């Protein structure tokens, strides 16, 4: 992950320095608003440079990311949102090209919930002129964590963590120090593994929301907490939750002797 961040940043002209567990980024000379296929194919989340580059440089060229291990995952919500913010968006020869002298604030409702789409548009809107309201936004903790980082840099973002996010555009962002939240899916995977094997595990710096999802107060998670786990980990309505925790939780359920008919069906 750190190596990918380093390569991505340096390709766009950002100076990157590693200091222990910290990564220092100096983006004062953002020279090349380009993310080529050779880079994007190694990590689909590279699409997240699209919004910030358009907002900062007025133009961006980013390769289409294609699918991933989960399957086809289109980026149409990213493109619709940028167009709503006033960007001219084209897709040609496998590349997304977006241009705008300055993005304009707007009220935009996403057709479906998307974490990276919400994050991309939220970042783009921080430098847009006026107020942007994103409706049907993703509510994941990572979205709120990104908003905290942006606000530390001088952005004006409110409502992150709910399905309506408001961003009041500013003229520029500055430097900041931010501690990224631990990976809740990684936390949940370790918890599910310990529970499925009737084992015990101690996790340091675990995400508190993940622990609460498992109903942990020191004891192993109980099966009746599964529906609550699934619902809390997804941004879609309970019943057929879409969550990266589906695999680990399925393994946990398979090891149980408890009736699982009440458990939701996972969509992966």
Q: Which of 68, 176, 255, 262 is catalytic?
A: 68
What DSSP designation does 205 have? T
Contact 165, 133 (CB under 8 A): yes
Count of Cβ atoms closer than 10 Å to residue 216 Cβ: 18
SS3 180: coil
Q: Residue 132: in which H helix or E strand, if any?
A: strand 131-135
Q: How far apart are CA 85 and CA 108, in angstroms?
A: 8
Count of Cβ atoms closer than 10 Å to residue 254 Cβ: 9
From 80, 63, 149, 180, select the one nearest 121 (Cα to Cα).
80
**In 12-49, alpha helices (H):** 37-40
Residue 38, C-beta contacts closer than 8 angstroms, at least 6 positions apart = none
169-193 b/e (C-beta count within 10 Å ≥ 16 → b): bbeebeeeeeeebbebbebbbbbbe
Q: How far apart are CA 249 and CA 91, in angstroms?
A: 38
Active site residue 149: no
SS3 167: strand
Which of the residues are catalytic? 68
């Amino acid at each position: 992950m750190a190596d990918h961040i380093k390569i991505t940043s340096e390709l766009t002209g950002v100076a990157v320095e590693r200091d222990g567990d910290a990564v220092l980024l100096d983006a004062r000379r953002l020279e090349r608003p380009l993310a080529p296929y050779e880079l994007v194919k190694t990590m689909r989340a590279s699409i997240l440079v699209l919004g910030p580059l358009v907002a900062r440089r007025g133009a961006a060229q980013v390769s289409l990311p294609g699918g991933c291990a989960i399957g086809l995952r289109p980026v149409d919500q990213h493109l619709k949102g940028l167009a709503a913010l006033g960007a001219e968006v084209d897709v040609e020869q496998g590349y997304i090209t977006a241009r705008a002298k300055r993005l304009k604030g707007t009220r935009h409702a996403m057709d479906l919930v998307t974490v990276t789409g919400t994050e991309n548009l939220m970042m783009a809107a921080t430098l847009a002129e006026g107020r942007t309201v994103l409706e049907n936004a993703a509510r994941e903790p990572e979205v709120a964590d990104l908003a905290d980082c942006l606000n530390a840099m001088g952005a004006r973002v409110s409502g992150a963590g709910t399905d309506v996010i408001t961003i009041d555009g500013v003229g520029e962002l500055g430097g900041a120090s931010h501690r990224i939240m631990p990976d809740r899916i990684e936390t949940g995977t370790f918890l599910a593994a310990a529970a499925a094997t009737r084992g015990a595990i101690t996790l340091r710096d675990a995400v508190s929301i993940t622990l609460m999802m498992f109903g942990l107060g020191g004891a192993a998670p109980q099966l009746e907490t599964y529906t609550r786990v699934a619902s809390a980990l997804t941004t879609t309505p309970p019943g057929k939750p879409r969550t990266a925790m589906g695999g680990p939780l399925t393994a946990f359920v398979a090891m149980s002797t408890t009736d699982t008919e009440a458990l939701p069906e996972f969509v992966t």
